[in-house]
Each structure stands twice: as structure tokens, then as C-alpha cells.
């Protein structure tokens, strides 16, 4: 019976020392783990987002990347993609006016090229 109490005491002490160590060193360990995770996630292997800034003059490829559709998408798909992205990025809802302008520019570019192709 006394050996069980000794083992329980040693176990409790080990848990206490382990908790104290984690409490002291958790921010440093957490920051190291976060840095390594950010580096691996932002490397492009797991990212579905386009890396890089906007081009000086928007191309159909860039417009398709912004809206998440093919540059040859039909008008309904284009309209749905524009609406979905604008709901998430509208300036009235806290989004960036610059990004909203780029989204509208992408829609206008793909919409106007669709009209030219239809004629």
C-alpha cells in the first residue's frame, strides 16, 4: 500500500514539473512551431491563392484568377463568381475598396470579352 502512495506521489510530482516546464517554455515552443507551419503553408505547396501582385494592365488570365473562373466562363458563372467574391470583399462590409475595384475590373474585362466573342 505504501509503495502505491509513493508511486502516486512521484507521478504527481512529474506532472507538476512537466506543467511548470510547459508554462514557462510554451510561448517559445509555440512560436517556433507556428513559424515552421507558416513557412510550409505559405510555400505555395498547399496554397490555392495566387502569389504575386496585380499586373499593370489586367489580362484575361489575371481576371480569371481573381474571380476564380475560367477566362472563357459563361455569363451566369461569371455573375455568380463576382457576386460571391464581392459579398466577401465589399467595402461596406469591411473589405478593401482597392480589392473591390480589382474584382469589378476583372468582371468588366471578362464580361466585355464575352460580348465580343458572342458577335
Angle at 65 between CA 100 and CA 71, to 5 degrees: 105
The pTM is what?
A: 0.54
pLDDT tens readout for residues 23-43:
777 666 566 666 666 665 555
Q: Are residues 18 and 41 in the same domain?
A: yes
First to last CA, the chain: 93
Is residue 118 pLDDT above 90, yes or no? no
pLDDT tens readout for residues 29-86:
566 666 666 665 555 555 555 566 777 888 998 899 889 998 888 999 999 999 999 9
Q: Are residues 107 and 65 in the same domain?
A: yes
**Assigned domain for 7 exists:** yes
Q: Are residues 66 and 100 in the same domain?
A: yes
Domain hosting residue 94, numbered range: 60-118
Residue of 71 and 119 predicted with greater confidence: 71
- Number of domains, the chain: 2
**Assigned domain for 53 exists:** no
**Assigned domain for 54 exists:** no
Q: Are residues 67 and 34 in the same domain?
A: no
Amino acid at each position: 500500500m505504501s509503495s502505491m502512495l509513493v508511486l502516486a506521489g512521484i507521478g504527481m510530482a512529474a506532472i507538476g514539473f512537466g506543467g511548470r516546464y510547459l508554462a514557462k517554455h510554451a510561448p517559445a515552443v509555440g512560436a517556433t512551431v507556428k513559424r515552421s507551419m507558416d513557412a510550409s503553408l505559405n510555400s505555395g505547396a498547399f496554397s490555392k491563392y495566387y502569389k504575386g501582385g496585380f499586373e499593370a494592365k489586367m489580362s484575361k488570365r489575371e481576371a480569371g484568377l481573381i474571380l476564380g473562373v475560367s477566362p472563357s466562363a459563361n455569363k451566369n458563372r461569371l455573375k455568380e463568381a463576382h457576386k460571391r467574391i464581392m459579398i466577401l470583399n465589399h467595402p461596406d462590409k469591411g473589405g478593401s475598396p482597392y480589392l473591390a475595384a480589382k474584382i469589378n475590373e476583372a468582371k468588366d474585362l471578362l464580361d466585355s470579352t464575352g460580348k465580343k466573342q458572342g458577335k
